[in-house]
Amino acid sequence: MADDDREVLQRFLDNLFRHAKRVSRLDVILRAETLDLDEDLLPLFENLPSGQAYTRDKLADQLNSAIVGHGWSRRYGTVD
């Protein structure tokens, strides 16, 4: 495990919500692709329910559920 793996998603959320209070699924996917995140993470974002705006808390809850479901919490940690 690289030292920064456990912080990559937290930094991603910090960046994503730096200038926005709400984001769409498409915003999340485009930002992930732009930042060239680990391609293992892209399915987490692509499988987010569409058609709604995500606050940071709501997106963190969705991502944490998916991370735990994939058994990736040891590698990526969880986000807030």
Predicted confidence (pLDDT) per residue in 34-51, tens digit: 888 888 888 889 889 888
Structural contact between residues 67 and 44, judged by C-beta atoms closer than 8 angstroms:
yes
More confident position, 67 or 75? 67
Task: State how many domains the chain has.
Answer: 1
- In this prediction the pTM is 0.86
Parent domain of 21 = 5-76
Task: Give the helix, strand, coil percentages of the chain, each rounded to 5.
Answer: 60, 0, 40
- Residue 3 has what pLDDT? 47
Q: Report pLDDT digits (tens) over 62-71.
A: 999 988 888 8
Instruction: Compute φ and ψ for 23, nearest 5 degrees.
Output: -135, 155
Q: pLDDT grade, residue 60 (50/70/90)?
A: very high
Amino acid letter, 50? S
Sequence-separated contacts (24+) of 11-20 with Cβ below 8 Å: 12/37, 13/56, 13/59, 13/60, 13/63, 13/79, 16/59, 17/56
